[in-house]
Chains A and B, each alone.
Chain A
Amino acid sequence: MLNVNNVQIVYDNVIEAVRDASLTVDEGQIVTLLGSNGAGKSTILKGISGVLYPEEGDIIGGTITLDGENMIGRKPDEIVRSGVVLVPEGRQLFEPLTVEENLMMGGITRNRSAAAEALEYVFSVFPRVKEKRGMIAGYLSGGEQQMVAIGRALMSRPRLLMLDEPSLGLAPQIIAEIFEAVTDLSKQSNVSVLLVEQNAELALSIASYGYIIENGRVVMDGTPAKLMNNEDVKEFYLGFSESGNRRNMRDVKHYKRRKRWLS
Protein backbone atom coordinates (compact mmCIF):
# COMPACT_ATOMS: atom_id res chain seq x y z
CA MET A 1 0.00 0.00 0.00
CA LEU A 2 2.60 2.56 1.13
CA ASN A 3 5.92 2.44 -0.64
CA VAL A 4 8.88 4.51 0.43
CA ASN A 5 11.68 4.17 -2.05
CA ASN A 6 15.26 5.38 -1.62
CA VAL A 7 14.10 8.51 0.10
CA GLN A 8 16.69 11.11 0.98
CA ILE A 9 15.79 13.95 3.34
CA VAL A 10 17.87 16.98 4.26
CA TYR A 11 17.36 19.78 6.76
CA ASP A 12 18.46 23.31 5.91
CA ASN A 13 19.67 22.02 2.52
CA VAL A 14 22.78 20.49 4.03
CA ILE A 15 22.13 18.28 7.02
CA GLU A 16 21.30 14.85 5.74
CA ALA A 17 18.87 13.17 8.13
CA VAL A 18 17.74 10.27 5.96
CA ARG A 19 19.50 8.63 3.06
CA ASP A 20 18.25 5.82 0.89
CA ALA A 21 15.46 4.75 3.17
CA SER A 22 13.08 2.24 1.65
CA LEU A 23 10.17 0.54 3.28
CA THR A 24 6.81 -0.96 2.45
CA VAL A 25 3.63 -1.21 4.45
CA ASP A 26 0.91 -3.52 3.18
CA GLU A 27 -2.82 -3.49 3.84
CA GLY A 28 -3.67 -4.38 7.44
CA GLN A 29 -0.03 -4.93 8.36
CA ILE A 30 1.83 -3.65 11.40
CA VAL A 31 5.31 -2.57 10.40
CA THR A 32 7.82 -1.30 12.89
CA LEU A 33 10.71 1.05 12.41
CA LEU A 34 13.47 0.61 14.97
CA GLY A 35 16.54 2.64 15.61
CA SER A 36 18.32 4.71 18.17
CA ASN A 37 17.85 8.42 18.80
CA GLY A 38 18.58 10.59 15.82
CA ALA A 39 18.50 7.69 13.38
CA GLY A 40 15.94 9.46 11.23
CA LYS A 41 12.80 7.51 12.12
CA SER A 42 10.66 10.52 13.00
CA THR A 43 11.98 12.37 9.98
CA ILE A 44 10.75 9.60 7.69
CA LEU A 45 7.28 9.78 9.26
CA LYS A 46 7.21 13.56 8.92
CA GLY A 47 8.30 13.20 5.32
CA ILE A 48 5.41 10.86 4.61
CA SER A 49 3.00 13.29 6.33
CA GLY A 50 4.31 16.26 4.41
CA VAL A 51 5.19 18.34 7.46
CA LEU A 52 8.93 18.74 6.97
CA TYR A 53 8.71 22.25 5.62
CA PRO A 54 8.07 24.08 8.91
CA GLU A 55 11.42 22.68 10.08
CA GLU A 56 13.19 23.57 6.83
CA GLY A 57 13.33 19.92 5.85
CA ASP A 58 13.00 18.69 2.30
CA ILE A 59 12.78 15.39 0.47
CA ILE A 60 15.46 15.65 -2.22
CA GLY A 61 15.42 12.16 -3.62
CA GLY A 62 13.41 8.99 -3.94
CA THR A 63 9.70 8.36 -4.10
CA ILE A 64 6.84 7.94 -1.66
CA THR A 65 3.73 6.36 -3.13
CA LEU A 66 0.39 5.32 -1.72
CA ASP A 67 -1.28 2.72 -3.94
CA GLY A 68 1.04 3.82 -6.71
CA GLU A 69 0.17 7.50 -6.39
CA ASN A 70 2.87 10.03 -5.61
CA MET A 71 2.71 11.52 -2.11
CA ILE A 72 5.69 13.87 -2.20
CA GLY A 73 4.80 17.54 -2.50
CA ARG A 74 1.20 17.07 -1.41
CA LYS A 75 -0.18 19.35 1.27
CA PRO A 76 -0.58 17.87 4.76
CA ASP A 77 -4.37 18.05 4.61
CA GLU A 78 -4.46 16.21 1.28
CA ILE A 79 -2.30 13.49 2.78
CA VAL A 80 -4.70 13.13 5.71
CA ARG A 81 -7.59 12.94 3.25
CA SER A 82 -5.84 10.20 1.33
CA GLY A 83 -5.89 8.14 4.54
CA VAL A 84 -2.44 8.54 6.05
CA VAL A 85 -2.19 10.14 9.46
CA LEU A 86 0.58 10.57 12.01
CA VAL A 87 0.35 10.47 15.80
CA PRO A 88 3.32 12.66 16.66
CA GLU A 89 5.96 11.88 19.23
CA GLY A 90 5.08 13.06 22.72
CA ARG A 91 1.33 13.20 22.03
CA GLN A 92 1.25 16.88 21.08
CA LEU A 93 -2.36 17.39 22.09
CA PHE A 94 -4.00 20.77 21.76
CA GLU A 95 -3.69 21.30 25.51
CA PRO A 96 -6.09 24.20 26.09
CA LEU A 97 -8.87 22.43 24.18
CA THR A 98 -11.20 19.83 25.61
CA VAL A 99 -10.79 16.17 24.74
CA GLU A 100 -13.78 16.27 22.45
CA GLU A 101 -12.52 19.39 20.67
CA ASN A 102 -9.17 17.66 20.19
CA LEU A 103 -10.93 14.73 18.61
CA MET A 104 -13.08 16.96 16.40
CA MET A 105 -9.90 18.57 15.09
CA GLY A 106 -8.68 15.13 14.08
CA GLY A 107 -11.81 14.83 11.99
CA ILE A 108 -11.60 18.28 10.43
CA THR A 109 -10.97 16.86 6.97
CA ARG A 110 -14.31 15.05 7.06
CA ASN A 111 -17.79 16.50 7.01
CA ARG A 112 -19.77 17.02 10.18
CA SER A 113 -21.83 13.83 10.16
CA ALA A 114 -18.85 11.65 9.22
CA ALA A 115 -16.89 13.25 12.05
CA ALA A 116 -19.70 12.57 14.52
CA GLU A 117 -19.73 8.95 13.41
CA ALA A 118 -15.96 8.74 13.75
CA LEU A 119 -16.27 10.15 17.27
CA GLU A 120 -18.46 7.22 18.30
CA TYR A 121 -15.95 4.87 16.70
CA VAL A 122 -13.08 6.39 18.69
CA PHE A 123 -15.11 6.15 21.88
CA SER A 124 -15.66 2.46 21.16
CA VAL A 125 -11.92 1.92 20.69
CA PHE A 126 -11.01 3.91 23.81
CA PRO A 127 -13.95 3.90 26.26
CA ARG A 128 -11.76 5.76 28.75
CA VAL A 129 -11.59 8.72 26.39
CA LYS A 130 -15.37 8.98 26.35
CA GLU A 131 -15.43 9.47 30.12
CA LYS A 132 -13.02 12.37 29.80
CA ARG A 133 -14.57 14.03 26.76
CA GLY A 134 -15.37 17.31 28.50
CA MET A 135 -12.02 17.70 30.23
CA ILE A 136 -9.20 20.02 29.21
CA ALA A 137 -6.76 17.76 27.37
CA GLY A 138 -3.68 19.25 29.02
CA TYR A 139 -4.76 17.99 32.42
CA LEU A 140 -5.13 14.31 31.48
CA SER A 141 -2.62 11.71 32.55
CA GLY A 142 0.06 10.66 30.08
CA GLY A 143 -1.69 7.42 29.17
CA GLU A 144 -5.00 9.12 28.63
CA GLN A 145 -3.29 11.77 26.53
CA GLN A 146 -1.78 9.08 24.34
CA MET A 147 -5.21 7.52 23.89
CA VAL A 148 -6.63 10.91 22.91
CA ALA A 149 -3.73 11.42 20.51
CA ILE A 150 -4.35 8.07 18.80
CA GLY A 151 -8.09 8.66 18.90
CA ARG A 152 -7.64 12.07 17.33
CA ALA A 153 -5.72 10.50 14.46
CA LEU A 154 -8.39 7.80 14.10
CA MET A 155 -11.01 10.53 13.62
CA SER A 156 -9.91 10.83 10.01
CA ARG A 157 -10.60 7.07 9.64
CA PRO A 158 -7.13 6.45 8.24
CA ARG A 159 -6.02 3.44 6.24
CA LEU A 160 -2.50 3.91 7.51
CA LEU A 161 -1.86 5.01 11.07
CA MET A 162 1.67 6.12 11.85
CA LEU A 163 2.66 6.08 15.51
CA ASP A 164 5.79 7.86 16.68
CA GLU A 165 6.91 6.33 19.95
CA PRO A 166 3.52 5.79 21.57
CA SER A 167 5.16 4.26 24.64
CA LEU A 168 7.21 7.36 25.44
CA GLY A 169 7.09 8.09 29.16
CA LEU A 170 4.24 5.72 29.98
CA ALA A 171 3.87 3.02 32.61
CA PRO A 172 4.22 -0.58 31.34
CA GLN A 173 0.60 -1.36 32.10
CA ILE A 174 -0.66 1.58 30.04
CA ILE A 175 1.73 0.70 27.24
CA ALA A 176 0.30 -2.81 27.15
CA GLU A 177 -3.21 -1.39 26.97
CA ILE A 178 -2.32 0.92 24.11
CA PHE A 179 -0.47 -1.73 22.14
CA GLU A 180 -3.41 -4.04 22.56
CA ALA A 181 -5.71 -1.39 21.15
CA VAL A 182 -3.34 -0.86 18.21
CA THR A 183 -3.23 -4.60 17.49
CA ASP A 184 -7.02 -4.75 17.59
CA LEU A 185 -7.22 -1.83 15.20
CA SER A 186 -5.15 -3.54 12.57
CA LYS A 187 -6.96 -6.84 12.99
CA GLN A 188 -10.55 -5.64 13.26
CA SER A 189 -10.63 -2.39 11.33
CA ASN A 190 -7.95 -3.40 8.83
CA VAL A 191 -5.91 -0.28 9.60
CA SER A 192 -2.27 -0.57 8.60
CA VAL A 193 0.17 0.63 11.22
CA LEU A 194 3.65 2.05 10.85
CA LEU A 195 5.13 2.01 14.31
CA VAL A 196 8.27 3.82 15.37
CA GLU A 197 9.57 2.60 18.70
CA GLN A 198 12.55 2.63 21.00
CA ASN A 199 11.21 -0.38 22.81
CA ALA A 200 12.25 -2.95 20.22
CA GLU A 201 11.08 -6.02 22.07
CA LEU A 202 7.58 -4.64 22.46
CA ALA A 203 7.37 -3.38 18.90
CA LEU A 204 8.56 -6.66 17.39
CA SER A 205 6.03 -8.54 19.48
CA ILE A 206 3.10 -7.03 17.63
CA ALA A 207 4.66 -6.28 14.24
CA SER A 208 4.63 -8.51 11.21
CA TYR A 209 7.67 -6.87 9.66
CA GLY A 210 10.45 -4.65 10.91
CA TYR A 211 13.10 -2.27 9.65
CA ILE A 212 16.18 -1.15 11.50
CA ILE A 213 17.45 2.32 10.75
CA GLU A 214 20.81 3.71 11.64
CA ASN A 215 22.32 7.03 10.65
CA GLY A 216 19.49 7.65 8.25
CA ARG A 217 19.67 4.39 6.32
CA VAL A 218 17.85 1.11 6.56
CA VAL A 219 20.48 -1.36 7.62
CA MET A 220 18.35 -4.43 8.07
CA ASP A 221 14.82 -5.61 7.57
CA GLY A 222 12.87 -8.78 8.04
CA THR A 223 10.21 -10.58 10.02
CA PRO A 224 10.30 -10.18 13.79
CA ALA A 225 11.56 -13.75 14.11
CA LYS A 226 14.47 -13.07 11.80
CA LEU A 227 15.33 -9.77 13.48
CA MET A 228 15.10 -11.17 16.96
CA ASN A 229 17.50 -13.94 16.08
CA ASN A 230 20.08 -11.60 14.68
CA GLU A 231 23.06 -11.27 16.99
CA ASP A 232 23.41 -7.54 16.49
CA VAL A 233 19.76 -6.82 17.07
CA LYS A 234 19.87 -8.96 20.15
CA GLU A 235 22.81 -7.13 21.51
CA PHE A 236 22.05 -3.55 20.56
CA TYR A 237 18.26 -3.44 20.58
CA LEU A 238 17.04 -6.20 22.85
CA GLY A 239 19.79 -6.02 25.42
CA PHE A 240 21.02 -9.61 25.28
CA SER A 241 24.66 -10.53 25.01
CA GLU A 242 25.86 -13.15 22.57
CA SER A 243 25.47 -15.88 25.08
CA GLY A 244 21.79 -15.05 25.32
CA ASN A 245 21.88 -13.78 28.87
CA ARG A 246 20.58 -10.41 29.78
CA ARG A 247 23.56 -8.07 29.76
CA ASN A 248 25.18 -6.89 32.87
CA MET A 249 25.59 -3.16 32.45
CA ARG A 250 29.03 -3.32 34.06
CA ASP A 251 30.32 -5.29 31.12
CA VAL A 252 29.04 -2.98 28.46
CA LYS A 253 31.84 -2.18 26.10
CA HIS A 254 30.21 -0.97 22.94
CA TYR A 255 33.44 0.01 21.29
CA LYS A 256 34.83 -3.50 21.39
CA ARG A 257 32.15 -5.11 19.30
CA ARG A 258 31.44 -3.53 15.98
CA LYS A 259 28.04 -3.97 14.52
CA ARG A 260 28.48 -6.35 11.63
CA TRP A 261 26.36 -4.29 9.28
CA LEU A 262 28.82 -1.44 9.52
CA SER A 263 31.37 -2.86 7.17
Chain B
Amino acid sequence: MDYFILLTVSGISIGVIYGLIGMGYALIFKATSVVNFAQGEVMMLISYMAFSIASSWSLPFWSLLGVCVVLSGVVGLLIERIFIRPMLGQDVFSTVMVTIGMAVMIRAVVVLIWGADPMVLPTDIGDSGVEFGMVFLYTAQIYAIGFLAVCVFGMWAFLRFSRMGVAMRATAARETTALLMGINVTRVYALAWAIAAVIAGVSGVLLGTIYGLGPDMWTQGLRAFPAVILGGLDSVFGAAISGILIGVLENLSEGYIGHGLKEISGFLVILVVLMIRPYGLFGTPEIERV
Protein backbone atom coordinates (compact mmCIF):
# COMPACT_ATOMS: atom_id res chain seq x y z
CA MET B 1 0.00 0.00 0.00
CA ASP B 2 2.79 2.37 0.91
CA TYR B 3 4.44 1.57 -2.39
CA PHE B 4 1.18 2.34 -4.21
CA ILE B 5 0.77 5.70 -2.51
CA LEU B 6 4.36 6.57 -3.18
CA LEU B 7 4.00 5.76 -6.86
CA THR B 8 0.72 7.64 -7.10
CA VAL B 9 2.02 10.77 -5.47
CA SER B 10 5.15 10.95 -7.56
CA GLY B 11 2.98 10.18 -10.56
CA ILE B 12 0.77 13.12 -9.73
CA SER B 13 3.71 15.44 -9.33
CA ILE B 14 5.09 14.64 -12.79
CA GLY B 15 1.56 14.41 -14.19
CA VAL B 16 0.98 17.99 -13.14
CA ILE B 17 3.81 19.02 -15.43
CA TYR B 18 2.31 16.97 -18.28
CA GLY B 19 -0.99 18.64 -17.58
CA LEU B 20 0.54 22.10 -17.78
CA ILE B 21 2.37 21.40 -21.02
CA GLY B 22 -0.77 19.73 -22.32
CA MET B 23 -2.84 22.81 -21.57
CA GLY B 24 -0.51 24.75 -23.82
CA TYR B 25 -0.97 22.25 -26.65
CA ALA B 26 -4.73 22.30 -26.20
CA LEU B 27 -5.03 26.08 -26.03
CA ILE B 28 -3.07 26.64 -29.22
CA PHE B 29 -4.93 23.86 -30.97
CA LYS B 30 -8.27 25.16 -29.80
CA ALA B 31 -7.63 28.69 -30.99
CA THR B 32 -5.63 28.09 -34.15
CA SER B 33 -6.12 24.37 -34.96
CA VAL B 34 -2.34 23.99 -35.07
CA VAL B 35 -0.59 21.42 -32.92
CA ASN B 36 2.49 23.14 -31.58
CA PHE B 37 5.10 20.43 -31.36
CA ALA B 38 7.58 22.90 -29.89
CA GLN B 39 5.66 23.23 -26.64
CA GLY B 40 8.16 21.12 -24.67
CA GLU B 41 11.05 23.00 -26.30
CA VAL B 42 9.61 26.37 -25.32
CA MET B 43 9.44 25.05 -21.77
CA MET B 44 13.07 23.97 -21.96
CA LEU B 45 14.16 27.32 -23.42
CA ILE B 46 12.48 29.29 -20.65
CA SER B 47 13.92 27.10 -17.92
CA TYR B 48 17.42 27.62 -19.31
CA MET B 49 16.79 31.34 -19.48
CA ALA B 50 15.64 31.12 -15.88
CA PHE B 51 18.95 29.40 -15.09
CA SER B 52 20.91 32.32 -16.56
CA ILE B 53 18.83 34.85 -14.67
CA ALA B 54 18.98 32.92 -11.42
CA SER B 55 22.72 32.46 -11.58
CA SER B 56 23.40 36.11 -12.52
CA TRP B 57 21.19 37.73 -9.91
CA SER B 58 20.10 35.62 -6.97
CA LEU B 59 16.45 36.49 -7.14
CA PRO B 60 13.94 35.08 -4.70
CA PHE B 61 11.82 32.34 -6.27
CA TRP B 62 8.70 34.42 -6.79
CA SER B 63 10.56 37.27 -8.49
CA LEU B 64 12.30 34.75 -10.72
CA LEU B 65 8.93 33.27 -11.61
CA GLY B 66 7.55 36.75 -12.33
CA VAL B 67 10.45 37.59 -14.64
CA CYS B 68 9.98 34.25 -16.41
CA VAL B 69 6.27 34.88 -16.90
CA VAL B 70 7.03 38.14 -18.70
CA LEU B 71 9.92 36.56 -20.60
CA SER B 72 7.93 33.57 -21.79
CA GLY B 73 5.05 35.80 -22.84
CA VAL B 74 7.47 37.74 -25.02
CA VAL B 75 8.95 34.51 -26.38
CA GLY B 76 5.46 33.28 -27.24
CA LEU B 77 4.60 36.51 -29.04
CA LEU B 78 7.88 36.47 -30.94
CA ILE B 79 7.38 32.87 -32.04
CA GLU B 80 3.90 33.72 -33.26
CA ARG B 81 5.04 36.85 -35.05
CA ILE B 82 8.17 35.41 -36.67
CA PHE B 83 7.26 31.80 -37.45
CA ILE B 84 3.52 31.38 -37.32
CA ARG B 85 1.96 34.54 -38.69
CA PRO B 86 3.62 34.24 -42.10
CA MET B 87 1.98 30.81 -42.30
CA LEU B 88 -1.53 32.25 -41.90
CA GLY B 89 -3.78 31.05 -44.68
CA GLN B 90 -1.46 28.17 -45.47
CA ASP B 91 -2.27 24.56 -44.87
CA VAL B 92 -2.46 23.65 -41.18
CA PHE B 93 -0.09 20.79 -41.92
CA SER B 94 2.62 23.16 -43.14
CA THR B 95 2.29 25.18 -39.96
CA VAL B 96 2.65 22.03 -37.90
CA MET B 97 5.82 21.24 -39.83
CA VAL B 98 7.08 24.71 -38.97
CA THR B 99 6.55 24.00 -35.28
CA ILE B 100 8.51 20.76 -35.62
CA GLY B 101 11.32 22.67 -37.29
CA MET B 102 11.14 25.24 -34.53
CA ALA B 103 11.39 22.47 -31.95
CA VAL B 104 14.59 21.10 -33.45
CA MET B 105 16.01 24.59 -33.68
CA ILE B 106 15.29 25.47 -30.07
CA ARG B 107 16.89 22.23 -28.89
CA ALA B 108 20.02 23.02 -30.86
CA VAL B 109 20.16 26.63 -29.71
CA VAL B 110 19.82 25.59 -26.07
CA VAL B 111 22.73 23.15 -26.34
CA LEU B 112 24.71 25.74 -28.28
CA ILE B 113 24.31 28.42 -25.63
CA TRP B 114 24.15 26.49 -22.38
CA GLY B 115 25.93 23.28 -23.27
CA ALA B 116 24.75 19.70 -22.97
CA ASP B 117 25.63 19.05 -19.33
CA PRO B 118 22.87 18.60 -16.79
CA MET B 119 22.57 21.58 -14.49
CA VAL B 120 20.78 22.57 -11.33
CA LEU B 121 18.41 25.50 -11.41
CA PRO B 122 19.57 27.52 -8.42
CA THR B 123 16.50 28.79 -6.62
CA ASP B 124 15.99 29.55 -2.97
CA ILE B 125 13.29 26.91 -2.57
CA GLY B 126 15.69 24.26 -3.87
CA ASP B 127 15.62 21.28 -1.52
CA SER B 128 12.96 22.46 0.86
CA GLY B 129 9.78 20.46 1.07
CA VAL B 130 7.00 19.15 3.22
CA GLU B 131 6.47 15.67 4.54
CA PHE B 132 2.95 14.24 4.32
CA GLY B 133 3.03 11.05 6.33
CA MET B 134 5.54 8.96 4.46
CA VAL B 135 5.62 10.93 1.22
CA PHE B 136 7.92 13.86 0.81
CA LEU B 137 7.04 16.62 -1.63
CA TYR B 138 9.40 19.36 -2.73
CA THR B 139 8.09 22.88 -2.40
CA ALA B 140 8.30 23.22 -6.17
CA GLN B 141 6.11 20.14 -6.58
CA ILE B 142 3.49 21.66 -4.34
CA TYR B 143 3.74 24.91 -6.27
CA ALA B 144 3.30 22.98 -9.51
CA ILE B 145 0.10 21.39 -8.25
CA GLY B 146 -1.13 24.79 -7.12
CA PHE B 147 -0.17 26.40 -10.40
CA LEU B 148 -2.05 23.76 -12.37
CA ALA B 149 -5.15 24.40 -10.28
CA VAL B 150 -4.80 28.15 -10.82
CA CYS B 151 -4.30 27.65 -14.56
CA VAL B 152 -7.30 25.38 -14.93
CA PHE B 153 -9.55 27.75 -13.06
CA GLY B 154 -8.06 30.80 -14.74
CA MET B 155 -8.44 29.38 -18.24
CA TRP B 156 -11.95 28.27 -17.52
CA ALA B 157 -12.94 31.73 -16.31
CA PHE B 158 -11.09 33.39 -19.17
CA LEU B 159 -12.73 31.29 -21.89
CA ARG B 160 -16.16 31.54 -20.33
CA PHE B 161 -16.46 35.09 -19.09
CA SER B 162 -13.97 37.40 -20.76
CA ARG B 163 -14.78 38.83 -24.16
CA MET B 164 -11.33 37.94 -25.46
CA GLY B 165 -11.80 34.38 -24.22
CA VAL B 166 -15.17 34.00 -25.88
CA ALA B 167 -13.65 35.53 -29.01
CA MET B 168 -11.00 32.82 -28.85
CA ARG B 169 -13.65 30.12 -28.80
CA ALA B 170 -15.56 31.87 -31.57
CA THR B 171 -12.45 32.06 -33.73
CA ALA B 172 -11.84 28.38 -33.07
CA ALA B 173 -15.38 27.57 -34.19
CA ARG B 174 -15.46 29.69 -37.34
CA GLU B 175 -12.57 31.81 -38.36
CA THR B 176 -14.11 33.60 -41.34
CA THR B 177 -17.22 34.52 -39.41
CA ALA B 178 -15.05 35.77 -36.59
CA LEU B 179 -13.39 38.09 -39.10
CA LEU B 180 -16.79 39.21 -40.34
CA MET B 181 -17.90 40.13 -36.84
CA GLY B 182 -14.85 42.31 -36.43
CA ILE B 183 -12.89 40.01 -34.14
CA ASN B 184 -9.20 40.74 -34.50
CA VAL B 185 -8.19 37.19 -35.33
CA THR B 186 -4.44 37.82 -35.45
CA ARG B 187 -4.60 39.26 -31.95
CA VAL B 188 -6.53 36.20 -30.74
CA TYR B 189 -3.85 33.94 -32.22
CA ALA B 190 -1.02 35.94 -30.70
CA LEU B 191 -2.70 35.82 -27.31
CA ALA B 192 -3.15 32.04 -27.50
CA TRP B 193 0.55 31.59 -28.28
CA ALA B 194 1.54 33.96 -25.49
CA ILE B 195 -0.60 32.24 -22.87
CA ALA B 196 0.62 28.80 -23.94
CA ALA B 197 4.21 30.00 -23.71
CA VAL B 198 3.64 31.46 -20.25
CA ILE B 199 2.18 28.18 -19.00
CA ALA B 200 5.10 26.30 -20.57
CA GLY B 201 7.58 28.77 -19.08
CA VAL B 202 6.28 28.50 -15.53
CA SER B 203 6.15 24.72 -15.75
CA GLY B 204 9.71 24.82 -17.09
CA VAL B 205 10.92 26.75 -14.06
CA LEU B 206 9.14 24.36 -11.72
CA LEU B 207 10.37 21.28 -13.57
CA GLY B 208 13.91 22.66 -13.57
CA THR B 209 13.73 23.27 -9.85
CA ILE B 210 12.47 19.75 -9.14
CA TYR B 211 14.48 17.63 -11.57
CA GLY B 212 17.26 19.92 -12.78
CA LEU B 213 18.02 21.04 -16.30
CA GLY B 214 19.23 18.86 -19.13
CA PRO B 215 19.25 18.83 -22.91
CA ASP B 216 16.57 16.14 -22.89
CA MET B 217 14.00 18.22 -21.01
CA TRP B 218 11.98 18.64 -24.17
CA THR B 219 10.96 14.97 -24.04
CA GLN B 220 8.51 15.99 -21.33
CA GLY B 221 6.63 17.71 -24.12
CA LEU B 222 6.45 14.44 -25.99
CA ARG B 223 5.33 12.63 -22.86
CA ALA B 224 2.61 15.21 -22.33
CA PHE B 225 1.25 14.62 -25.81
CA PRO B 226 -0.74 11.47 -24.94
CA ALA B 227 -2.35 13.52 -22.18
CA VAL B 228 -3.71 16.04 -24.66
CA ILE B 229 -4.96 13.36 -27.00
CA LEU B 230 -6.55 11.54 -24.10
CA GLY B 231 -8.24 14.67 -22.82
CA GLY B 232 -9.35 15.75 -26.27
CA LEU B 233 -7.10 18.00 -28.31
CA ASP B 234 -9.38 20.98 -27.94
CA SER B 235 -10.08 20.62 -24.24
CA VAL B 236 -7.83 22.72 -22.03
CA PHE B 237 -9.42 21.29 -18.92
CA GLY B 238 -9.20 17.74 -20.27
CA ALA B 239 -5.47 18.15 -20.88
CA ALA B 240 -4.91 19.08 -17.25
CA ILE B 241 -6.85 16.13 -15.85
CA SER B 242 -5.42 13.63 -18.32
CA GLY B 243 -1.92 14.92 -17.63
CA ILE B 244 -2.25 13.80 -14.04
CA LEU B 245 -3.88 10.56 -15.15
CA ILE B 246 -1.06 9.74 -17.53
CA GLY B 247 1.56 10.67 -14.95
CA VAL B 248 0.08 8.31 -12.37
CA LEU B 249 -0.43 5.59 -14.92
CA GLU B 250 3.15 5.78 -16.14
CA ASN B 251 4.44 5.45 -12.62
CA LEU B 252 2.15 2.60 -11.64
CA SER B 253 2.86 0.61 -14.78
CA GLU B 254 6.56 0.98 -14.24
CA GLY B 255 6.36 0.20 -10.56
CA TYR B 256 4.20 -2.89 -10.86
CA ILE B 257 4.77 -4.31 -14.32
CA GLY B 258 8.25 -3.44 -15.33
CA HIS B 259 10.86 -1.03 -16.43
CA GLY B 260 10.45 0.46 -19.89
CA LEU B 261 6.69 0.52 -19.75
CA LYS B 262 6.75 4.08 -18.54
CA GLU B 263 7.45 5.45 -21.97
CA ILE B 264 4.70 3.58 -23.74
CA SER B 265 1.93 3.15 -21.20
CA GLY B 266 0.47 6.56 -21.98
CA PHE B 267 0.30 5.80 -25.66
CA LEU B 268 -1.27 2.41 -24.97
CA VAL B 269 -4.04 4.05 -22.99
CA ILE B 270 -4.83 6.59 -25.69
CA LEU B 271 -5.05 3.81 -28.25
CA VAL B 272 -7.79 2.19 -26.22
CA VAL B 273 -9.57 5.39 -25.26
CA LEU B 274 -9.63 6.76 -28.78
CA MET B 275 -11.33 3.61 -30.01
CA ILE B 276 -14.20 4.30 -27.66
CA ARG B 277 -14.19 8.10 -27.68
CA PRO B 278 -12.49 9.35 -30.86
CA TYR B 279 -12.57 12.96 -29.66
CA GLY B 280 -10.93 12.16 -26.31
CA LEU B 281 -12.34 12.12 -22.82
CA PHE B 282 -13.31 15.79 -22.67
CA GLY B 283 -13.10 16.91 -26.29
CA THR B 284 -16.11 18.34 -28.08
CA PRO B 285 -17.75 16.11 -30.63
CA GLU B 286 -18.98 18.00 -33.71
CA ILE B 287 -22.36 19.56 -33.12
CA GLU B 288 -24.80 18.09 -35.55
CA ARG B 289 -28.51 18.57 -35.64
CA VAL B 290 -30.49 15.59 -36.80
Interface of A with B (CB < 8 Å)? 49, 51, 53-54, 56, 76-77, 79-81, 85-86, 88, 92-97, 101-102, 104-106, 108-109, 112, 136, 138-139, 152-153, 156
Contacts and interface: CB of A to CB of B under 8 A. Distances in A.
A105 B176 contact: no
A156 B174 contact: no
* Most chain A CB atoms below 10 A, which of B166, B170, B180: B180
A109 B177 CA distance: 14
B287 A95 contact: yes
A106 B178 CA distance: 9
Nearest to B284: A96
Nearest to A142: B289
- Size bracket, chain B contacts: 20 to 34
B179 A76 contact: yes
5 contacts: A54-B175, A108-B182, A138-B288, A138-B289, A139-B287
Nearest to A49: B180
B176 A51 contact: yes
A77 B182 contact: yes
B167 interface: yes
Nearest to B289: A139
Contacts of A96: 169, 173, 284, 287
A227 B86 CA distance: 47
A76 B182 contact: yes
A106 B166 CA distance: 11
B237 to A, nearest CB: 14
B188 to A, nearest CB: 10
A54 B176 contact: yes
A76 B175 CA distance: 12
B52 interface: no
Interface in B169-210: 169-170, 173-184
B258 interface: no
B30 to A, nearest CB: 10
A109 B181 CA distance: 8
B89 A108 contact: no
Given A76-B180, A94-B178, A108-B182, 4 more contacts: A94-B173, A109-B181, A138-B289, A152-B181
A152 B179 CA distance: 13
Contacts of B259: none
Given A49-B180, A138-B289, A105 B166 contact: yes
B283 to A, nearest CB: 11
A88 B176 contact: yes
Contact of B181 (A95, A106, A136): A106
B243 to A, nearest CB: 23
Given A101-B166, A105-B167, A53 B178 contact: no
A248 B3 CA distance: 84
A86 B182 contact: no
The 9 residue pairs across chains A and B that have the minimum distance between CB atoms: A80-B182, A138-B287, A77-B182, A109-B182, A94-B173, A94-B170, A92-B177, A76-B179, A95-B287
Contacts of B163: 104, 108, 112
Contacts of B182: 76-77, 79-81, 85, 108-109, 156
Nearest to A55: B176
Nearest to A141: B289
B180 A88 contact: yes
Contacts of A53: 89
